[in-house]
Amino acid sequence: MIKKQAGFTLIELVVVIVILGILAVTAAPRFLSLQGDARQASLQGLKGAIDGAAGIVYGKAAIEGVETASTATNVTAGGTTVSTIFGYPTANAAGIGAAVTGLDTDWAVAASVADTSITYGFTGTPSATCAVTYTQATSGAVATSVVIDSGC
């Protein structure tokens, strides 16, 4: 009489568990870095929004003939009043904060240098090492934005 096997042997189960463990160890680091990648992508999106808004405001300032004004001048763009200097938004809530819709509500100020630059990070945990810094225009340079993602 031949006896049929009705299940898995202990050895087969151990082999499957070992294989699953190896897969988990090799795949886990790849999935754990997704949060950092998502933060970096969000920062790139914010930089694009800041650059786009600054360009639109500069165009509006040029149309109004105030793109060379060395003192803060208000420009209305898209129904919003934006404070500008040399045609670009100033580095504060009245400037770039007003130019980018949702910037002051969705992001937090991580650092600010009066009349020079402002750094926006993630709400709740704003950090200057995982943020976007906007530097307002000067007489010799246009406004710039830079992504800082060393701490993401």
Enumerate the domain spans of the chain.
Answer: 15-148
pTM of the shown model: 0.78
Main-chain dihedrals φ then ψ at residue 7, nearest 5 degrees = -165, -165
- CB burial readout 116-135, b (16+ within 10 A) else e: ebbbbbbeeebbeebbbbbb
- pLDDT at residue 5, as a whole number: 65
In this predicted structure, what is the pLDDT of residue 27? 78
Q: 136: helix, coil or strand?
A: coil
Mean pLDDT of the chain: 89
Winning range, highest mean pLDDT, from 20-24, 130-134, 147-151? 130-134
